[in-house]
Structure 1
Amino acid sequence: MLHVRSIWNGAISFGLVSIPIKVVNATESHSISFRQIHTEDGGRIRYRKFCELEDREVTQSEIGKGYEDADGTIVPITDDDLAQLPIPTAKTIEIVAFVPEDRIDPLQMDAAYYLAASGAPAAKPYTLLREALKRSNKVAIAKFALRGRERLGMLRVVGDAIAMHGLLWPDEVRAPEGVAPDVDVTVRDKELDLADALMDTLGEVDLEDLHDEYREAVEEVIAAKAAGEIPREAPEPAKAGKVLDLMAALEKSVREAKESRGEEPAEVTRLPQRKTTRATPKQTTGKKSTSATKKTAAKKTASAKKSTTKKTTSAKKTTSTSKTTAKKTTAKKTSAKKTSARKRSA
């Protein structure tokens, strides 16, 4: 850590205690940097800084800061102007409170720094603050100025050192409005059980075992092209099928996670399939057709029987009427004969 250049020198203000410190970066980037080139001949593309008034290229030592006013006027601002700002945080990390660590929203986390004790006189107060933070199980909230603006920070113990995380101001964190699904979704207990089983199967991981595979692949490509070789082709990504059944996807994930760890496939209970409202066309089979034909034939026979019954009933009624009429006619004739015989006797 001694070879790391400090980016800020000042002191921690802990009440009336002042702790001289140096601020150094706690992280480093391992990403691969690329240069812009002219694709036709491989020449470097460079950006040169020109002064608009003198129309000439200037060196870095000739470049300073300036604030552009609304009317286009440039107001020069020097490093001395910023160093003499009338605020206590210009050269001081001012501790303002101590809070439980879980009170800090991870969304506020920004860059991380180590605070190194500056010189032998700083060793005792530095150790005092470190041990006080350890015993309290709290973190310190502080204000400090860096790179032209006042910032918020969180001090915590890392090993035997004090680390500081830059924090965004609360009004710099956006609210998650419009991010969550805007439809009502019901998650069943069985689905949650399978999700829990998948989480348990995946288990924990040692972060030291994780590495940047993308960077390694880029380094392979660079090495191959530098040696005049053709970089190996990337395998085709597996085609992702459309997930129609969440339960099936969870079950398969649990099985694959188990198998990847050399464990027996997970035993899961399949939920009964939900009834779908999708209309499925009915398939017509020979049996159904025969049945339908029989039903139609039965209906026709019943109709014919009804018709026959009606005709028979009608015929019977006609016969009965005829007989009644005949009887009445015979009776009339008999009565007439009797009347005629009486007249003759008289």
Structure 2
Amino acid sequence: MPRPVWSGAVSFGLVTIPIKVLPATENHQISFHQYHVEDMGRIRYQKVCALDGEVLSPDEIGRGYEVSKDTIVEITDEELDNMPLPTAKAIEIVAFVPADSIDPVRIGDSYYLSADGAVAAKPYVLLRKALERSSKVAVAKFAWHGRERLGLLRVMEDALVLHAMKWPDEIRSPDELAPRTVDLDDKEVDAAISLMEEMTTDDGLEGYRDHYREALEDLLAAKAHGEKPPVADTGGKPEETVVDLMAALQQSVESARASRGETTGEDGKDASVHDLTGHAQKKAARAKKATAKKTSKTAKKAPAKKAPRRTTA
């Protein structure tokens, strides 16, 4: 596991849970450096004072806020650390809300919360089980990296996960982006739903790969070994551009079925975006499968009933 990025506590009413915060994701992006093309010397950056041109070392650099052109308020690390914030040392839970009430556009970086020490185990599991049973998520506030943040705390498997969130005033409105007047008939909507059903999968996201990174790795490996780098295949007949929306949906459905080795619909006829009977059957089968899994899981967790206690006169 990665090293903790922060240590503190989760504040849940009067309950305090000592925790360590660890990154939940990792970046596999390939990074480049900048070089001088003529001699491949590495490009370096220096921090220079704008007034005297002197190159400064880190201990000569402070932070400040420009109140006006001629007035700068200097701020020290000690002053920032001593600000009277209840969230400076703890992740403070302020509310519980339904999970579907949080729009994904608010969610940013994700972190795992690890119980810090034996004393934290019981309250950690208590909060986790309470969230599981209530089907809610916690809204929290915490102060990291020089600012107070809003967070979402939820359960993932047996762990608590913290997602950093944007404040309400940081979310831009999409009101002016959507087309106002569009003529659509029911057949076109049904066709789109038909395509969605053909593309629906129960396999999750595990099979998806970053093809750009893989191609970049191949390019770097080839050049490192003095080989000719691979190039994109530009041959072949270009696909025809489909202007008609229904025709585009029809071709998309046929392409989705062909990718699975299917050439006809479930009723034996040619694939058609107008016949939704097969899709309804698929949907019902998936729902039945999900219900069976849920029932099985519930049966495993259901505690045995205790015999009623007898009373004596």
Contact between 2:190 and 2:273, CA under 8 Å: does it hold in 1? no
Contact between 1:191 and 1:247, CA under 8 Å: does it hold in 2? yes
Distance 2:19 2:59 in 1: 28
The reply on whether 1:193 has 2:173 as its aligned counterpart is no
Contact between 2:63 and 2:75, CA under 8 Å: does it hold in 1? yes
Q: Which residue of 2 aligns with 1:138?
A: 136
Q: Which residue of 2 aligns with 1:256?
A: 255
Please, which runs of 5 or more residues in structure 2 have no aligned partner? 275-313
The reply on whether 1:162 has 2:171 as its aligned counterpart is no
Larger radius of gyration: 1
Give the letter aligned to residue 175 of structure 2: E
Q: 1:81 to 1:246 in 2, by over 3 A?
A: same
Compare the two structures and name the one with the higher helix fraction.
1
1:79: Cα distance to partner? Answer: 2.5
Contact between 1:155 and 1:164, CA under 8 Å: does it hold in 2? yes
Distance 1:112 1:72 in 2: 41
1:203: Cα distance to partner? Answer: 2.0
Q: % of aligned pairs identical?
A: 55
1:33 alignment partner, SS class: coil
Q: Which residue of 2 aligns with 1:129?
A: 127
Give the letter aligned to residue 191 of structure 1: E
Query: In the TM superposition, what whole-angstrom CA distance separates every residue of 1:112-168 from its partner, at most 9, and x where no partner exists?
Result: 111112222212211111111111111111111111111111110112111111111
Contact between 2:18 and 2:116, CA under 8 Å: does it hold in 1? yes
Query: In the TM superposition, what whole-angstrom CA distance separates every residue of 1:264-308 from its partner, at most 9, and x where no partner exists?
Result: 23435599xxxxxxxxxxxxxxxxxxxxxxxxxxxxxxxxxxxxx
Among 179, 184, 187, the residue aligned to 1:181:
179
Q: Which residue of 1 aligns with 2:208?
A: 210
Query: In the TM superposition, what whole-angstrom CA distance separates every residue of 1:45-84 from its partner, at most 9, and x where no partner exists?
Result: 1101234566443344544432233234333323222221
Distance 1:268 1:260 in 2: 13
1:34: Cα distance to partner? Answer: 0.5
Give the letter aligned to residue 126 of structure 1: Y
Give the letter aligned to residue 88 of structure 2: A
Give the letter aligned to residue 101 of structure 1: A
The reply on whether 1:82 has 2:80 as its aligned counterpart is yes
Among 103, 109, 112, the residue aligned to 1:111:
109
1:247: Cα distance to partner? Answer: 1.4
Q: 1:269 to 1:6 in 2, by over 3 A?
A: closer
Contact between 2:34 and 2:42, CA under 8 Å: does it hold in 1? yes
Distance 2:3 2:70 in 1: 37
**Deviating more after overlay: 260-269 vs 39-48:** 260-269
Among 50, 69, 72, the residue aligned to 1:71:
69
Q: 1:73 to 1:8 in 2, by over 3 A?
A: farther
Distance 1:258 1:269 in 2: 11
Q: 1:54 to 1:117 in 2, by over 3 A?
A: farther
Q: 1:17 to 1:174 in 2, by over 3 A?
A: same
Distance 2:131 2:60 in 1: 45
Q: Which residue of 2 aligns with 1:311?
A: none
Contact between 1:83 and 1:91, CA under 8 Å: does it hold in 2? no
Please, which runs of 5 or more residues in structure 1 have no aligned partner? 272-346
**TM-score, with structure 2 as normaliser:** 0.79
The reply on whether 1:153 has 2:156 as its aligned counterpart is no
1:258 alignment partner, SS class: helix
1:222: Cα distance to partner? Answer: 0.6
Contact between 2:254 and 2:271, CA under 8 Å: does it hold in 1? no
1:257 alignment partner, SS class: helix
1:259: Cα distance to partner? Answer: 1.1
Distance 1:252 1:47 in 2: 53
The reply on whether 1:172 has 2:198 as its aligned counterpart is no
1:23 alignment partner, SS class: strand
Contact between 1:22 and 1:117, CA under 8 Å: does it hold in 2? yes
Distance 2:174 2:5 in 1: 34
Distance 2:40 2:177 in 1: 44
Matches within 5 A, 1:244-283: 244-266=243-265, 267-268=270-271
Distance 1:30 1:100 in 2: 33
Distance 1:160 1:76 in 2: 45
1:207 alignment partner, SS class: coil
Question: Cα RMSD (Å) of the superposition?
Answer: 2.1
